């Protein structure tokens, strides 16, 4: 927060210099005209289409898709070695994994700061859920609750953005090389 406050309090020129140093393009170069609409600034890009200033900050702050640590390969490598061995099996129930993935991605896309609770009784399906969570950079934990097994999944970040390839897509694309 301290760094953010220093950035906000610095001059516009210093802010541009810092953003350009971080490898971000100068927004001025991409626009042809600027229109003021209320409190929001609309930027008309050379390619066409208007983008407001809030959208620009979202593009600047969320560069995970461009960062090497968020490539599908790196996300897969983040999965525990034993769980990766589980995912390499020929008899992997891709439909079950796809359903779990759809449910988790949809939930965290809509409610990125909420906690997902699941009461999957099947230990194999819970292991798939844990592998999926590691791939999606989510924290999962299973626990006993009055005789039943529950799994709690949390996103430790303020937003949620899955890798460019979901786990099922990554596994299908790389089934011969894994």
Decide if pLDDT at 178 tops 60.
yes
Which is more confidently placed, 70 or 139?
Answer: 139
Give the global pTM.
0.62
Q: What domains can you pick out in the chain, each with its CATH number?
A: 2-61 (no CATH), 68-173 (3.30.1370)
Mean pLDDT across 115-126: 94
Which is more confidently placed, 13 or 86?
Answer: 86
- C-alpha 171/C-alpha 17 separation (Å) is 41
Mean pLDDT across 24-30: 43
């Amino acid at each position: 927060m301290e760094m953010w406050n220093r950035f906000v309090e610095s001059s516009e020129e210093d802010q541009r210099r810092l953003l350009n140093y971080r490898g971000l393009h100068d927004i001025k170069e991409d626009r042809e005209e600027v229109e003021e609409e209320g409190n929001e600034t609309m930027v008309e890009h050379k390619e066409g289409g208007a983008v407001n200033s809030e959208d620009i900050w979202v593009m600047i702050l969320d560069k995970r898709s461009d960062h090497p640590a968020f490539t599908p390969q790196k996300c897969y490598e983040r999965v525990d070695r034993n769980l990766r061995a589980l995912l390499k099996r020929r008899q992997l129930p891709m439909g079950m994994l796809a359903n779990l993935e759809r449910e988790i991605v949809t939930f965290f896309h809509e409610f990125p700061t909420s906690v997902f609770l699941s009461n999957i009784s099947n230990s194999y399906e819970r292991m798939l859920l844990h592998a999926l969570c590691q791939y999606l950079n989510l924290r999962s934990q299973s626990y006993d609750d009055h005789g039943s097994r529950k799994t709690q999944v949390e996103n430790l970040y303020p937003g949620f953005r899955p890798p460019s390839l979901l786990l099922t897509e990554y596994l299908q694309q790389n089934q011969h090389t894994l």
